Structure 1
């Protein structure tokens, strides 16, 4: 740090000279010269303290230590305060020992006269008041240790180490970080150079191995005329084939076999016997290729009484048979890739095309290749393009009962999950899945929310009218506040993006609270309208600021959400009304009837020009917030996406859970939505132009209904969280496909 400070001072001095700030430069040099921190040079600070001790300058020693205490030591945590006190005591004892060793007893007596008021009540100094009056204090058992050279060296080293660690750990301004950045860049450059050398070595080794392989296989190299056969184009193959047909064949090429195979494929999916493991199509093609030269048995090039040119054509035709056989085998491999169509369908297409043009003579193998390529194109057109690629799916199984809430913090590093038994888990999933904190609540918990600032803090709403502030790193409750005894259910918590306040929704008891028991009570839709209140609290002081007005009647607020800057708050209530609050005026800006029944979940759109909601009526609706109550479009979602969620078991066991957590979440651009389902999350694409939802991807992976979801978009790869009634939480990492 000292070197970084020195370099920064030089850069600042150079900048001031460049700008012509001469007066500022003079003041800067004067301040640097009078710097008591010595540019954070630990050796200079220790030398300064030793100089005051050797000069018997007690006043300057006290003032300098007081400056260090105010400037540096006061910023430390309380756990380090005893260490600072011990160092101060040792420093004053070091001053006294030096005074006695140099026979300056007057300075020792002066020390006690000036420090008596401060030291007389401290037990560790009670025996030291006799030090100036002892004839030989260096042999006294109480002081002999302090007169040794080892003690003095130990004290100075301890002081030096303490200041060094302090300067390394203290926060520094951004300007001083350039030294660390330079070191990091230098380290990266060294690593790049090392990797470059490794790559060069690997390339040389690969080149050597390739050269050795070529030398080994040199005597097996094919003749030039055979190698050139692989380069014959389709036109040359067709010319050779026509010449061979004119000179050698008088019968049609395997037409009876191909027609019989086509007829069999139309009758049923019967397969010919296979000995080599090839597909039926491949076996048929190979038989055709092998049958063709049977008409030419016993006939060799030298026995044909034709011209030399015709003999060459026959030789080329024999090589073309082998070449064609290899090409047909390649076509068979391509056929294996076609999973959507069977062999019989491809043969039927081929036979239909032959029936349409009976007069044309077409090579069956080439015709089959065209069919295969056409099938590939049609399958590629029919198969919809995937919007996401599933990179991985992991499971967090530390809960043993149904999940209520599952939320990712603002940084995307940790997840907080809560189950119906009051068990809270805070865990990370990148790079490894690991539980960071765990807590069990004696009272039931109904709501959970991460604090925006200092994202190590959690807000927990209970079923007994209290809100707790939980520190996930210290693993303890910082405070607990009571809301209202008459409204004990804390249904929703939402922290402002600024972090200075949060809203709390409290509600009275109702019959719907029994929906989570094994014997649920049926509540008619829209009749679960219990009283409630919406409160604004200060996060720092944990004191209530105000209570929002809920019109027409005080009603239970089920869900709340802020916009990006905290100026707007949207709420969904048990009476089916969505209310939009102006957080600067702290009043309701607009409200409208949104659902037939309760509103379960609300969120702002990506551009914040609209609000999305899911209600008890099973509808997913987009609302225009610029025109109160104007519906952009609505869609019906499956019942397993909106709840109540039902988990059935043996002997008629049935567990019913009312919606509590977030029922839908958006990706980073607001184009896709994740919802609940009975077997896992489902991702829909929002088609605002067509005003509809398009199902894109089913994540799956669950054996119990998913009750709450979240979509973490803080990292490059989005991670979908789906939590179910069996306590399992799935993390599905997705990679977006750019269209």
Structure 2
């Protein structure tokens, strides 16, 4: 509700400016500055109450609580009145305990003197009047629970939850519901576009199926088309003129056109949904194990000028087009004909032709021969559910066999080529509508890919840029970290800089940025200029670069705090929040992973993870583990409940971990240290996308050894991929792979379950 109020205030302010109501706008700004409800932001209300407690302002604390009571709490039903009284009692106790913990006994006595008339009649305060006279109240059994950190945290969380539910249940004005209507309209528009694409795909599939049916009808063999009116002599003539290797052009299912070229099996006959196909003819021979070539089996063979009957064909060896129907069934069909038909020999032959035709069209799909383009051999396909094999298998492996099932179909792959130098960062925003990409020349492109690929904004920077990150609220804002100690906040809709924050002159390199999902704050990693330490031997590592980890607020544009980095200040290369912003994981240049508690703003645990620098870290889908990639080329999964315990480890090739290298003519060589995200997960956290020399590579996470199972190479690049991202905001997941030649490939995947 707080974010909706802020956006509504902005719309109202914009409307007043448009109408020229400047005096009204001034009054609105003044009222917003003195707003005690803090725009219905619960975190700001709790922060205001804590500020009164910290400053020992008892009068301010009482007045603020009375205002909340008159404005909000008194309107509740009587059943909630006891809860409100308990919260007020806990708030006063929280104040008293704080005065004793800080050793300010004067404020403690002042509280009981001013509140004596109000509290002496309440049973829950009867024993608290002796509190100022107890030498060590924190050791007294009656008061010791209130001095624990657990009680204070429980009270603050309870108050936060109570106010949050209260604000959500309040009746909202029509103007405030505008934001919800906009979000609803946006979601409906996206759903409509998705359904339109699905409808278009189904229409295309239906049209292709009709074309296939028409093609099959027009391309029936002559002896099948004219079977009803051919006599013995005509049939023998057609069979003698028809070449043995005749085969029709194979057709593909609609979805198979979206598959990669390398995954299509050439020369396969189409599988029809009805389980039968008119083009079920033999197109080659397969030699038996003995080495003697087998005789070619045709549906109809010329034998002394007569077609082969069903009884004769059933007694011969089983061929690729042998029928599954019993012989007596066809016999019964022929004997159950009406007896009043003329017994002319020509009519008998027509009946036999009709019987052979029915047997031909009744062949099951599982016995359609598969022609190998390389050898011309024929071997039966495995029985399937009527779908083309490209949709349920990974495709033909290099050794000729079929590999494991593929979880995704690559529907399409597009290229964004507006950059002219190597990419450093490439990130999708939270809504999945915009992409921001940064190259080594400091050029930033903001572009969209749905429904068409289009550049929205181009940002040119005079100072070198090292990092970027999308803001969480609102998602149109972009954070840009430079190499001169500044962070800019850029509005991608208005296409202008909102403001620039000076971080630290002694640590000018902004290596990493991460926005909290639950607020307006962001974490900034600042490092000193790179320097190499004194190396006494080849085995000794360079001295890590000094750095700082800072927390900033985009609303106030001020630094909130500086995190403690132990054992020494070191450059943080990568940062990542969990889903609610309560945890922060970082990877540093000294090879140590640090996990921070964002409720207490302190380090919860740290451990040495890699030999060398940590390049990229991410939380797992269930947030019980952390994944990391380091300079040692290892992809490791760590248990965050047991410090430094590995759950799995996998050695990756150098083209997946860096440093990345691009060679050119005349001995030219370009080397790039990893800056952006080296791996990304899908929406369910079961598959991971990594870098490679020719494109992205998708692995499946396993619980055993090896930890990663190769599933699908995306390909498409001619230079090493240096950063990846995986957007799962829509049903069709979108993989972004950016390379050193400035090309960004956007691969659209469709998840499937075979």
1:80 is the counterpart of 2:18: yes
Report Cα offsets for 1:549-579 as digits up to 9, x if no partner: 1111111100000001111000000010000
Q: Is residue 682 of structure 2 the alignment partner of residue 644 of structure 1?
A: no
Partner Cα distance (1:324, 1:495) in 2: 70
Aligned-partner SS, 2:302: helix
In structure 2, the CA distance between the partners of 1:464 and 1:79, relative to structure 1 (3 Å rule), is same
1:295 matched residue in structure 2: 304
Task: Kindly indicate whether residue 568 of structure 2 is the aligned counterpart of residue 547 of structure 1.
Answer: no
* Map 1:558-569 → 2, pairs under 5 A: 558-569=573-584
Paired residue for 1:490?
510
Quick one: structure 1 residues 620 and 313, their matched pair in 2 at CA, closer, same or farther if it must change by over 3 Å? farther
Alignment pair present for 1:442 and 2:462: yes
Q: Give the superposition deviation at 1:78.
A: 6.3
Match of 1:372 in 2: 380
Question: Is residue 323 from structure 1 mapped to residue 332 from structure 2 by the alignment?
Answer: no
Identify, as 1 or 2, the structure richer in helix.
Answer: 1
Q: CA deviation at 1:317?
A: 11
TM-superposed deviation, 1:279? 4.1
Which residue is 1:583 aligned to? 598
Contact 2:590 2:613 in 1 (8 A): yes
The alpha-carbon deviation at position 480 of structure 1 amounts to 1.1
What's the counterpart of residue 524 of structure 2?
504
Q: For residue 10 of structure 1, what is the aligned residue in structure 2? A: none
Alignment check: 8 A CA contact 1:285 1:328 kept: no
1:266 alignment partner in structure 2? none
Q: Distance in 1 between matches of 2:19 and 2:541?
A: 60
What secondary structure is seen at the aligned counterpart in 1 of 2:404?
coil
Q: Report if the CA contact (8 A) 1:403-1:417 is conserved.
A: yes
Q: For residues 577 and 175 of structure 1, what CA distance do their matches in structure 2 show?
A: 43
2:412 matches 1:392: yes
Q: Displacement of 1:738 after TM fit?
A: 2.4
**Structure 2 CA distance for partners of 1:318 and 1:467, relative to 1, 3 Å:** same
Residue-by-residue CA offset, 1:686-706 (whole Å, 9 max, x unaligned): 012556110110000111110
Aligned 8 A contact 2:531 2:545 in 1: no
* Of 173, 187, 190, the match for 2:177: 173
Q: Closer, same or farther in 2 for the Cα pair 1:293/1:394, shift >3 Å?
A: closer
Please tell me whether residue 423 in structure 1 is matched to residue 443 in structure 2: yes
Cα separation, 1, equivalents of 2:12 and 2:411: 49
Alignment of 1:697-708 (within 5 A): 697-708=712-723
| 1:432 CA displacement | 1.2
Return the offset for 1:314. 12
Alignment of 1:672 with 2:672, yes or no, is no
Q: Which residue of 1 aligns with 2:742?
A: 727
What is the alpha-carbon distance in structure 2 between the residues aligned to residue 531 and residue 343 of structure 1? 67
Q: In the superposition, relative to structure 1, how do residues 221 and 329 fare at CA in structure 2: closer, same or farther (>3 Å)?
A: closer
Match of 2:490 in 1: 470
Q: Which moved more, 1:315-324 or 1:472-481?
A: 315-324
Aligned equivalents of 2:544, 2:23: Cα separation in 1: 62
Q: Which residue in 2 is equivalent to 1:686?
A: 701
1:533 aligns with 2:548: yes
Q: For the Cα contact (< 8 Å) 2:369–2:380, is it kept in 1?
A: no
Cα displacement (A) at 1:85: 9.3
SS at match of 1:295: coil
Question: 2: distance between equivalents of 1:449 and 1:396?
Answer: 20
Question: Residue 293 of structure 1: SS of its match in structure 2?
Answer: coil
SS of alignment partner, residue 448 of structure 1: strand
1:643-664 per-position Cα deviation (integer Å, ceiling 9, x unaligned): 0000111111111000000000
Query: Residue 343 of structure 1: CA displacement?
Result: 3.8
2:157 corresponding residue in structure 1? none
> Separation in 2 of the partners of 1:414 and 1:607?
26
Q: For the residues of structure 2 that align with 1:658 and 1:610, how far apart are their CA atoms?
A: 26
User: Which residue of structure 2 aligns with residue 432 of structure 1?
Assistant: 452
Q: Is the 8 A contact 2:366 2:382 kept in 1?
A: no
Residue 75 of structure 1 and its aligned partner are, at CA, apart by 3.4
Q: Compared with structure 1, are the counterparts of its residues 524 and 449 closer, same or farther at alpha carbon in structure 2 (3 Å cutoff)? A: farther
TM superposition shift of 1:682: 0.3
Shift of the 79–339 alpha-carbon distance from structure 1 to 2, 3 Å rule, reads: farther
What CA distance in whole angstroms lies between the structure 1 residues aligned with 2:286 and 2:578?
Answer: 62
Tell whether the 8 Å contact from 2:227 to 2:353 is kept in structure 1 after alignment: no
Alignment coverage as a number of residue pairs: 465
Shift of residue 444, structure 1, vs aligned partner: 0.5
For residues 84-103 of structure 1, what are the structure 2 equivalents within 5 Å?
none
Cα distance between partner residues in 2 of 1:415 and 1:723: 12
C-alpha RMSD of matched pairs (Å):
4.8
Question: Aligned residue for 2:143?
Answer: none
Q: C-alpha offsets along residues 81-116 of structure 1, whole Å, 9 cap, x if unaligned? A: 448899xxxxxxxxxxxxxxxxxxxxxxxxxxxxxx
| 538 and 285 in structure 1: CA distance in 2 versus 1, 3 angstrom threshold | same
Shift of 1:442: 0.3
Structure 1: stretches of 5+ with no match in the other structure: 1-70, 87-169, 200-205, 214-219, 227-256, 258-276, 300-308, 347-370, 514-522
- Shift in Å, 1:483: 1.6
For residue 525 of structure 1, report the CA deviation from its aligned partner: 8.5
Q: Which of residues 465, 472, 492 in structure 2 aligns to 1:452?
A: 472
- The separation in 2 between residues aligned to 1:74 and 1:332, in whole angstroms, is 66
- The equivalent of 2:311 in structure 1 is none
Q: 1:323 to 1:710 in 2, by over 3 A?
A: same
Native 8 Å contact 2:592 2:609 kept in 1: yes
Q: Give, in angstroms, the shift of residue 486 of structure 1.
A: 1.6
Correspondence for 2:637: 622
Give the direction of change, closer, same or farther, for the CA distance of 1:473–1:289 in structure 2 (3 Å limit): closer
CA–CA distance in 2 between the matches of 1:675 and 1:452? 25
For 2:180 and 2:640, the matched residues in 1 are separated by 47
Task: Provide the rounded CA distance (Å) in 1 between the counterparts of 2:626 and 2:581.
Answer: 15
1:392 and 1:732 in contact (8 A); partners too: yes
Give yes or no for contact 1:499–1:539 (8 Å, CA) kept in 2.
Answer: no
Q: Secondary structure at the match of 2:655?
A: helix
The SS at the match of 2:304 is: helix
Q: Is the 8 A contact 2:442 2:465 kept in 1?
A: yes
Partner of 2:622: 607
Structure 1 SS opposite 2:519: coil
| CA shift for structure 1 position 295 | 3.1
Q: 1:511 to 1:553 in 2, by over 3 A?
A: closer
CA distance, structure 2, for counterparts of residue 322 and residue 528 of structure 1: 87
Q: Would the alpha carbon gap of residues 668 and 83 (structure 1) be closer, same or farther in structure 2, given more than 3 Å must change? A: same
Q: Which of 653, 660, 671 does residue 656 from structure 1 map onto?
A: 671
2:307 and 2:663 mapped to 1: Cα distance? 77
The alpha-carbon deviation at position 312 of structure 1 amounts to 8.0
Residue-by-residue CA offset, 1:124-163 (whole Å, 9 max, x unaligned): xxxxxxxxxxxxxxxxxxxxxxxxxxxxxxxxxxxxxxxx
TM-score normalised by structure 1 residue count: 0.55
The more displaced of 309-318 and 661-670 is: 309-318
Q: 1:494·1:503 contact (CA, 8 Å) conserved in 2?
A: yes
Deviation string for 1:471-524 (max 9, x for gaps)?
1111111111212222111100111111321111111111589xxxxxxxxx98
Question: What does 1:19-38 align with in structure 2 at a 5 Å threshold?
Answer: none
Moved more, 524-533 or 388-397: 524-533
Give the whole-Å Cα distance in 2 for the aligned partners of 1:599 and 1:633. 17
TM-score (norm 2): 0.54
Question: Matches of 1:431 and 1:524 in 2, distance apart?
Answer: 53
Larger radius of gyration: 1
> Within 5 Å, which residues of 2 pair with 1:5-154?
75-77=13-15, 79-82=17-20
Is the 8 Å Cα contact of residues 526 and 574 (structure 1) preserved in structure 2? no
Q: 1:176 to 1:397 in 2, by over 3 A?
A: closer
